[in-house]
């Protein structure tokens, strides 16, 4: 009868209710009413879709001394950043405990409705990450002059003002917390990694009260002690129709599109290799032909026949391929006949004509 209990009474022989159906000592401080929450739509960055920007128009909790702890930060539990893989983490904003909690992707598991739908398991308070002594993100929620709670426990003292804060009356000689077991006591959410949608969740919370020996009536008591007073467990999940729709309309389509893109890319790559081979062959052939033309030369042989002799024993004249060198050697050639005692002048007027003109 602390928060929002409906009290049923007998009224003139009939069963009825009080006019104010929210009956309880701390009903005015109950925070279970849904408050307006502003979230990022992911327009600028798809990885930020579902990230909380403000709660009830506020960016701060106004409860913690450390700025990083007091700031409203994290994703909604229903929607985390898409594309997460095993080994990654996501920070969720849990407004019911007035703080953010980081969850760690530990493994993959099949959906309870379909074995062909693989979900990413995000676990809270992983053993090696839940110790405030070694984890800065847990230590910032501790009060400066007070010790942090043991590993695996979360201090809700700052958030108790929303529920009343009258738990000092619970001071009994009882202690004992069951040995922590991640499988039996842990909280999990199962997220579809491609879309970031949370399809399944298991929440287990044990509420403990810290009893310290600061009061003079308890100076001789050993302690401090953590007294368990409430064990809360809730399991939720998407319906089979929702999982089927997600599989057929999103996951299968994405797989088909990805396969088609891979085939197109492979075909384009193969065509590129074929065109590259053709171009390389053409370039090699063109280069060989050009080299052969550069290395070729023409040697013209001219034979001068003496008109005075019947024997043709005059040496052949070889003209180099360059016209300039031919001009430098001789522009005119003079042959003398010993019998006729006259000069015959031959002029090299045409290198392509095998006969000289007198």
Average pLDDT over residues 235-250: 89
CA distance 156 to 163: 11
Q: Which two tokens stand for residue 16?
A: 């009825």
Which tokens sit at 304?
Answer: 């001068």
Task: Tell if the pTM clears 0.85, that is, is over it.
Answer: no
Write the pLDDT tens digit of every residue in 83-133.
899 989 999 988 778 889 889 999 999 999 999 999 999 988 776 787 888
* Contact in structure between 101 and 108 (CB atoms under 8 Å): no
Token output for 136:
């800065």
Residue pair 118/175 in contact (Cβ under 8 Å)? The answer is no
Question: Using CA atoms, how far apart are residues 136 and 133, in angstroms rounded to an integer?
Answer: 8
Q: Where do the structural domains in the chain lie, given as residue ranges?
A: 31-238, 240-296, 300-347
For residue 300 the two structure tokens come to: 């013209």
- Asked if 187 and 202 count as a contact pair (C-beta separation under 8 A), the reply is yes
State residue 30's pLDDT score. Answer: 45
Q: Which of 15-29, 130-144, 282-296 has the lowest average pLDDT? A: 15-29
pLDDT band of residue 12 (cuts 50, 70, 90) is very low
CA distance 53 to 75: 9
- In angstroms, the CA 37 to CA 53 distance is 8
- pLDDT tens, position by position, 211-240: 777 767 767 777 677 777 777 788 888 899
Percent of the chain with pLDDT over 70: 63
pLDDT computed for residue 178 by the predictor? 52
Alpha-carbon Rg for the chain in angstroms? 48
DSSP 71: B
Q: List strand residue ranges (DSSP E) for the chain, in order.
A: 8-11, 14-17, 37-39, 52-55, 89-94, 99-110, 118-124, 188-192, 197-211, 225-237, 300-302, 317-319, 332-336, 343-347
């Amino acid at each position: 009868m602390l928060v929002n209990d409906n009290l049923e009474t007998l009224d003139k022989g009939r069963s009825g209710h009080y006019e104010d159906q929210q009956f309880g000592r701390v009903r005015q401080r109950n925070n279970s009413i849904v408050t307006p929450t502003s979230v990022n739509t992911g327009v600028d960055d798809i990885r930020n879709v579902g990230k909380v920007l403000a709660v009830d128009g506020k960016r701060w909790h106004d409860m913690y001394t450390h700025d990083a702890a007091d700031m409203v930060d994290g994703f909604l539990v229903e929607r985390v950043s898409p594309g997460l893989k095993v080994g990654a983490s996501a920070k969720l904003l849990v407004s019911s405990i007035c703080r953010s909690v980081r969850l760690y992707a530990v493994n993959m598991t099949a959906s309870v409705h379909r074995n062909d739908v693989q979900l990413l398991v995000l676990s809270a308070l992983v053993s090696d990450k839940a110790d405030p002594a070694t984890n800065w993100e847990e230590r910032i929620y501790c009060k400066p002059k007070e010790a942090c709670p043991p590993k695996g426990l979360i201090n809700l003292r700052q958030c108790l003002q929303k529920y009343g804060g009258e738990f000092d009356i619970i001071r009994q000689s009882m202690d004992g917390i069951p040995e922590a077991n991640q499988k039996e006591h842990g909280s999990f959410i199962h997220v579809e990694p491609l879309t970031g949608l949370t399809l399944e969740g298991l929440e287990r919370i044990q509420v403990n009260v810290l009893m310290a020996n600061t009061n003079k009536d308890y100076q001789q008591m050993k302690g401090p002690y953590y007294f368990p007073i409430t064990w809360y467990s809730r399991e939720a999940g998407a319906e089979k129709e929702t999982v089927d729709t997600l599989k057929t309309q999103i996951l299968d389509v994405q797989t088909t599109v990805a396969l088609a893109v891979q085939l197109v890319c492979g075909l384009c790559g193969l065509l590129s290799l074929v065109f590259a081979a053709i171009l390389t062959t053409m370039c090699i052939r063109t280069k060989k032909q050009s080299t052969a033309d550069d290395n070729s030369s023409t040697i013209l042989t001219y034979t001068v026949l003496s008109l005075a002799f019947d024997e043709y024993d005059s040496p052949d004249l070889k003209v180099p391929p360059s016209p300039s060198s031919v001009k430098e050697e001789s522009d005119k050639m003079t042959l003398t006949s010993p019998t006729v005692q006259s000069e015959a002048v031959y002029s090299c007027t045409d290198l392509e004509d095998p006969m000289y003109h007198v």
